[in-house]
Structure 1
Amino acid sequence: MNTRIRSSLTSKQLAQLAAHQVNNLHPDGEKIEPADLSTAAPQALSRLEHCFSHIGNKYFFDGQQAIFDHLHGDQYAMWLYFLASELHESGGPTSICKKLFLLNKTLHGCDIFYEVKLPSVFLLVHPLGTVLGRGHYADFLLVYQRCGVGSNHDAYPTLGEHVSLRPGSSVLGRCSVGNNCAIATESLLLDQELPPDSVYIGNPRDHLIRPKSAKESIWRT
């Protein structure tokens, strides 16, 4: 998909905005400058474009090109993750990466550390209270509010492609989630293998697994 993103701000303006927000949030005497983000910002915007180009929603893709609005909360949360991740991967200062992570946590209530490797295509849907830890993720990951992915006894989950985490769901520990699976609202998958094309409902003590055929309609593949 060779598109160019239509962004409400240029990468330079986005770097200026993030630097200003970080400095207001952390007036610790170590002020960051927009130039500190200028190398990472264009590549982060390119990663955002690739991601948004696969989302079949008019606020993300208009049929011709990807769209980014810095005043759209879900989109800005995804942008800040990409920016912090790109800065980290390019060898940027750890202190700035941490501040971008905390800015995202403050603005959007989501905890996605810059070292966590989210897939190239994912979607956060009003992700208040969501924590995405150091699991193994694959493309077309759909995550709603109050979701959790994390460890149990130092073991982390592996999620396949086209996995959706519904509101309040969690995947913890030594889990292997197959392709085209959904974790139902308020459900907990713990140290368990979930076969492809499944919907998991419940918790370790009381759960059921139902078949799932169609993929989520939000994706452009």
Structure 2
Amino acid sequence: MHLSLNEADLARYVRKQFENTFPDGADLGDLPKFVELALGRIEHCFSRVRLKGFFANGQVRFSHWHCDQFAIFLYYLANTAFREEPGHPIADKAYALNKALHALDAFYEVELPDVFAVQHPVGTVLGRASYSDYFICYHNCTVGANLDNDYPSFGRGIVMYGGSRVIGKTSVGDNTFVSTGAIVIDGGTLEPNSVLHGIYPNAGHSRTGRNVISDIFGV
């Protein structure tokens, strides 16, 4: 994997970000360990993503200057710290730093898939849904609960375009495109190979011959 900063320098870089943004003196001694684990997840994820800058010449590429990549890294860092040691301050700091830098709200308890991507995700909130591999979202997307605290579930190969929302008891089938500005609330079980469009309560879906994994991820 090609890194813009080697592992040790990346850990020092993140430490400085934490200390400057959250100067509370919390123990960051475990940060190198969590960075190493997060980079392992980055390598697995990016090796299956053919978006520009993620993979080239047979090699995974990760740059701390590539905002979308760094947003994914910070999610993996926060989630990894939470998995390894629930309650660890690094989980909270990485989550909060992601919100501060990228306006991306992906809480560390949310289990995003092993293969996913974001594209300029400013204003996006990814709630406690069930996600599958090859999920990608753009700016100002929302995944959230209804008033009964029911969350959506997503099949394999989902793209949420800018401004779209999927809320509540909604099961989105494999290979689905959620159109720009679409709002789906308690949509029930939606068949695969679909385009979701329209605004609740008049949201609908139509068939598609396109493929998220090949057309968007380039795999």
Report the TM range for the smaller structure's normalisation: over 0.9
Question: Counterpart in 2 of 1:26?
Answer: 22
- Residue 92 (structure 1) shift: 5.6
Asked if 1:167 is matched to 2:162, the reply is yes
User: Any unmatched runs of 5+ in structure 2?
Assistant: none
**Alignment-derived partner of residue 82 in structure 2:** 88
TM-fit CA distance, 1:60: 0.5
Q: Displacement, 1:118?
A: 0.2
Shift of 1:171: 0.7
Q: How does 1:31-46 map to 2 (within 5 A)?
A: 31-33=26-28, 35-46=29-40
Runs of 4+ aligned structure 1 residues displaced above 3 Å come to none
Query: Once the two structures are superposed, what CA deviation does each residue of 1:85-135 show, in whole Å capped at 9, x if it has no partner?
Result: 111111164322111100000000010001110000001000000000100
TM alignment of 1:1-221, pairs within 5 A: 5-28=1-24, 30-33=25-28, 35-91=29-85, 93-152=87-146, 153-192=148-187, 193-216=189-212, 217-221=215-219
User: Which structure 1 segments of 5+ residues have no match?
Assistant: none
RMSD (Å) for aligned C-alpha atoms: 1.3
In structure 2, distance between residues paired with 1:66 and 1:218:
17
Partner secondary structure for residue 195 of structure 2: strand
Identity over the aligned pairs, expressed in percent? 38
How far the C-alpha of 1:208 sits from its partner, in A, is 2.9
Deviations 1:24-62 (A, max 9, x none): 11112x2443x3211111111011011111111340000
Q: Quick check: 1:149–1:170 contact (8 Å CA) kept in 2?
A: yes
**Number of residue-to-residue matches in the alignment:** 215
Q: Distance in 2 between matches of 1:63 and 1:56?
A: 11
Give the secondary-structure state (helix, strand or coil) at the position aligned to 1:59.
coil
TM (normalized to structure 1)? 0.93
Alpha-carbon distance in 1 for matches of 2:16, 2:87: 17
CA contact (8 A) 1:23 1:32 kept: no
Equivalent residues of 1:53, 1:220 under 8 A apart: no
